[in-house]
């Protein structure tokens, strides 16, 4: 998967997130997972990789990140 920036947006909520690692594992199932952090409150989240990359999140371009912050 090609990334334009390190910032991802959840399409449903509009929340912005930074991936901490895309190569984690869920202990109970050994399923590949993504660990990511909310830019709003610093909360850490874990989601199966198949869900993270299924269209729920979109990678923002550098221009999108600047325009949303400014």
User: What are the tens digits of pLDDT across the range 14-58?
Assistant: 999 999 999 999 999 999 999 999 999 999 999 999 999 999 999
User: Across the chain, how many H-helices and E-strands are there?
Assistant: 2, 5
What the block records as the tokens of 37 is: 């952090």
Rounded to whole angstroms, the Cα distance separating 22 from 37 reads: 12
pTM beyond 0.85, yes or no: no
Residue 12 carries which DSSP code?
T
Evaluate the CA torsion angle 58, 12, 7, 42 in order and state its sign. negative
What the block records as the tokens of 24 is: 């984690």
């Amino acid at each position: 998967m090609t990334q334009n920036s390190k910032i991802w947006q959840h399409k449903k909520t509009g929340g912005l997130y930074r991936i901490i690692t895309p190569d984690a594992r869920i202990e109970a199932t050994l399923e590949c997972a993504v660990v990511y952090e909310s830019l709003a409150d610093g909360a850490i989240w874990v989601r199966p990789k198949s869900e993270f990359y299924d269209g729920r999140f979109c990678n923002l371009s550098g221009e999108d990140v600047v325009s949303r912050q400014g």
